[in-house]
Chain A
Amino acid sequence: MSKIKVLIVDDEQDFVKLFVKRFVMRNLDVEGVTSGQQALEYLRENAVDVVVLDVKMPGMDGLETLQEIKKRHPVVEVIMLTGHGSVKSGIQGISLGAYDYVLKPFKIEDLLERILKAYERSRLNRGR
């Protein structure tokens, strides 16, 4: 099986670096970008299974980015990740088509599990 392709989008550079490192260790194919705009550009050029998206980012925020991703790449599954935990933004995210909504702090294994499930779903989306 080819590696699962994950894109992490977070304006916090350090977090992105750490995330990439941790998930590459767990044998995922992970890329990181630091804005919604960059995420959309990356998705235009590259095939991705799961996007992990920070809710709050300067410029194009997570929910806007989510909407654009779902519009342009409906088979890609999106997991929202946030430190500004609120049920309201979670509900918005899920309603806009996010696969899952994870509040920081999270356990790596827990998030990995959720990424794997989102991947399963995106595989089904593609009819594979």
Chain B
Amino acid sequence: MGSAFLAIRQFLGRGRRQRTREQLARLREEYRVRCRSFRLLVKANHEALAALADLEELRRAGRPFGMARIRALSVRGLMAGFQMVRQLNRMAPGTYEELFTSLASVQTSVDAVLRRPAAESCPDNVLPLDRLTRQCSRETGGKLARLGEARQRMGIHIPEGFVITASACRRFLDHNDLPQEIDRLLQTTENSSMAGLYELSSTLRSMILRAEVPSGLRVDMQDQLTRMQALSPDPLRLAVRSSALGEDVAGASFAGQFHTELNVPSEHVEDAFKAVVASKYGPAALAYRFHRGIRDSDVDMSVGCMEMVSARVGGVLYTRDPLHPEQDCLHISAVFGLPQAIVDGSAVCDRFVVSRCGRRIVERHVAHKEWRTVCHPGEGTVLEEAVASEQDVPCLTDGQIVALVGMGLRLEEIFGAAQDVEWIIREDGAIALLQCRDLHFPALPEESDAAESAPEELERHPLREPLLRGGVTASAGAAAGVAVAVRSDADALRFPEQAVLVARSARPRWAPLLSRAAAVITEHGASAGHLASVAREYGVPALFSLPGALDGLAEQLDRGAVITVDADRGAVYAGKVEPLLRRPPVRGLMFGSPVHHCLEGVLEHLAPLNLDNPDARSFAPENCRTLHDVLRYCHEMGVREMFCMEPRSGLEKGVSRRLVDGVPLQYWVVDLEDGLEAPEDSDLRTVDIADVRCRPMLALWEGMQAVVWRGPPAVNAGGLVSVMVRSVSDPGLAEGAASPYAVRNYFLISREYCSLQSRFGYHFCTVEAVLGQDPEENYVIFQFKGGAADWERRIRRARLVGDVLEDYGFLVELKEDALYARREGADARTMDALLRVVGYLVVHTRQLDMIMGDSAEVARVDEQIRTDLAEIGARAAGIPPPAGDGTSRRIKGD
């Protein structure tokens, strides 16, 4: 403060008014830094810790979350950390610069985890289908690579065609500057709502559909199309299919999420290609990735362009029963025409079950097949009425069934796992392979006693008659919920959590709803469809092909009544049928996912606390290895800076005004900013307490004068009494002649801030507080030290006051005879009460050290303090004080 004195001296000789103004400006600036900085530091500390807590909460994976949430919380935490470092450096310039470096290195580590991993690039834009092997799958996706391999190793027919590589797809997006914009949109709208999801999806897809195909890719595609056309006498028609990379991530199937365009003329292949790339951002795909914790960067698209082969019969073959993988049989679903309708879950189809060993057909379900899908003469496919004579005959001969089974088992052998195979039988009778991938099995629910006891319980409580019976089990289990019909996208948007979805067909577009549905019922659709596989993945019980479900449940749907679906036994009941409701399947789908893994990686750099002991030598900026370390360090040091800053000696003098409450008091007030009602007028020498509008000062003042100080305690060492200043809390006793040890008591105030420096004799204390509407910015710190009595007594006093403060939730530290107490983050009401307590203690502990020799006296004082504080508290809360106890105390005010 020496410089302050110099500065003041320089002012001498100028006009008083000018000097006062400059002095006040200096003082204000000093306090602005001190108060604002600490206030912002405390606030940032809250914000950063809240972000850490939210991240920790995500880690438990109770609910799905995406990269956007992790990124937002990490940035929030790191920004708040930066704010703390910045404010700490403002409070003590130059002392804590190293923290910027520590924080920057935490930030670098976090960025590295969150960054989109760079993909390896391959120069080829296109690769011919029949030359692919599984080694190509990084560029072509597993599905298409398998087609090439099946062709080469087994001589199986596959359609002529080529793949547009994942690298080419990325170059296509880069060429149009899309990746950054996509990231931004994903960050902005992650999982906001169902409506938000649809909107995001439509924005992203239309961006891609509008984009331009780079000329290199266009030329390569054209070359391939020319090559294919040369092999075919008819005008070339293509099937343009997605083949996503990353389908193996965390056992994810991506069933039915991406676009396929059938029967495309070669001049429209470019548009179909864009549509397939865009389908990475279809609503079902976005929702699926979000719920499975798959990052956008984990999935890359490649696009297969294959000659369209017209099919006599088409279908899907599972080399195991997805619901009962242990059973020794294959399942075939088949229709006349293209198999599209089976895949879409909308078709009524023939089903055959074949034993794996012996290849015997053990079950045969021949459906009434009214419709079939065929290529439209122009473009695309159409449903047409099937030939009447074919509607009720099986679409496969036994020979064809056995041939399909043979192919399936060989594919299984080559690829080393049960397969999900999409096939057709061409007009010429040859089997062709359209797609093939590993078959997904639902995560088996942990079989428990509950499950086993269910049948027994059912016997004890016979069930009422079901509303509906029948259907095909698409996903096992039973569940209850409100019945909700979904007929349109608008219905989908309104679909509530934990309801039972009732729909006409098992369309893949309802897949996003499965994260919210309790169960699914459809009138059409097979267990081989996409929706079924998504239902299994989510563990949502699903009953498909239940005829007349919408009509049969019309009453329940109208009323929004609860129904119970028993997908295992093919029955739907009114109300909640408890015995059927086994434990709901565990859905901890996020565990082990890339997003969850990423979260773990981020937390590793943010959450652990290494600096746990502020007194240790290792408590230093260079040892801050995580965000949490930085927060801890900044907060500790911020508090220390506040406690250690010596009060200014002198600067206040010229700019302060004496406090008057009827009579002049021994307190002076400096208005830093907005702390007084009346407009500032530097000619005034006094401040009336009625004009003070600084909330923390008023609360403090209430506490200070709530109970009249009984004066210096009676002590034997009479000599010491001479240095005492008499109470200033009693205006009648305002002391004119200060002792040489007494300095004035200053309140430095703004509207929400107050600093009180007070010195009585040898006794020195400061209170500093912010009391505003935002609890996160509020704090009060209180310290005192010194005293006139001997060391032991002073320590005892500090302990006594510390105990009292701890009871009021303060964090208290005692260092010898000094006491440091603080409390942060309390709401305005609590702060008000705390400041009253502190105010009382400021006045009433002044010379307590004098009497601290006698333990009986200590106990008496302790009790007195607590009684007084209880009374002050009750008064503040509007409760009348207990009846007078006959002591000499009087409560001020009414």
Contacts and interface: CB of A to CB of B under 8 A. Distances in A.
B75 A90 contact: yes
Contacts of A88: 107
Residue with the highest number of chain A CB atoms closer than 10 Å, among B78, B185, B188: B188
B57 to A, nearest CB: 16
A2 to B, nearest CB: 18
A84 B86 contact: no
A85 B68 CA distance: 9
B79 interface: yes
B181 to A, nearest CB: 9
A105 to B, nearest CB: 6
B71 interface: yes
A83 interface: yes
A15 to B, nearest CB: 8
Interface string A72-108: 0000000000011111101100100000010111000
Given A83-B185, A84-B184, A84-B187, A105 B83 contact: no
B674 A84 contact: no
Contact of B79 (A83, A90, A105, A117): A90
A101 B72 contact: no
A56 B184 contact: yes
B554 to A, nearest CB: 38
Nearest to B77: A87
B111 interface: yes
A105 B184 CA distance: 10
Contacts of A85: 71-72, 75, 187
B78 A87 contact: yes
A87 B86 contact: no
B328 interface: no
Contacts of A56: 184
B187 A91 contact: no
A25 interface: no
Contacts of B187: 83-85, 103-105
B184 A103 contact: no
A104 B726 CA distance: 60
Residue with the highest number of chain B CB atoms closer than 10 Å, among A85, A86, A101: A85
B673 interface: yes
A86 B115 CA distance: 10
Given A84-B184, A84-B187, A101 B79 contact: yes
A105 B68 contact: yes
B298 interface: no
A124 B75 contact: no
B281 interface: no
A105 B673 contact: no
B668 to A, nearest CB: 23
Contacts of B544: none
A99 to B, nearest CB: 11
A90 B183 CA distance: 17
B72 A84 contact: no
B774 interface: yes
B183 A105 contact: no
Contacts of A104: 72, 187-189
Interface in B63-107: 68, 71-72, 74-76, 78-79, 82-83, 86, 107
B773 to A, nearest CB: 9
B192 interface: yes
Contacts of A84: 180, 183-184, 187
Contact of A103 (B72, B86, B189): B72
Given A84-B184, A94-B79, A124-B673, A105 B192 contact: yes
B730 interface: no
A104 B185 CA distance: 9
B688 interface: no
A103 B189 CA distance: 11
Contacts of B183: 84
Contacts of B674: 124, 127
Interface of B: 68, 71-72, 74-76, 78-79, 82-83, 86, 107, 110-111, 180, 183-185, 187-190, 192, 673-674, 774
19 contacts: A56-B184, A83-B188, A84-B183, A84-B187, A85-B72, A85-B75, A85-B187, A87-B78, A87-B79, A90-B78, A90-B82, A91-B79, A91-B82, A94-B79, A101-B79, A103-B75, A104-B72, A104-B187, A105-B188
Interface of A: 56, 83-88, 90-91, 94, 101, 103-105, 117, 124, 127
Given A90-B82, A105-B68, A124-B673, 19 more contacts: A83-B184, A83-B187, A84-B180, A85-B71, A85-B72, A85-B75, A85-B187, A86-B75, A87-B78, A87-B79, A94-B79, A94-B82, A94-B86, A103-B76, A103-B187, A104-B72, A104-B187, A105-B189, A105-B192
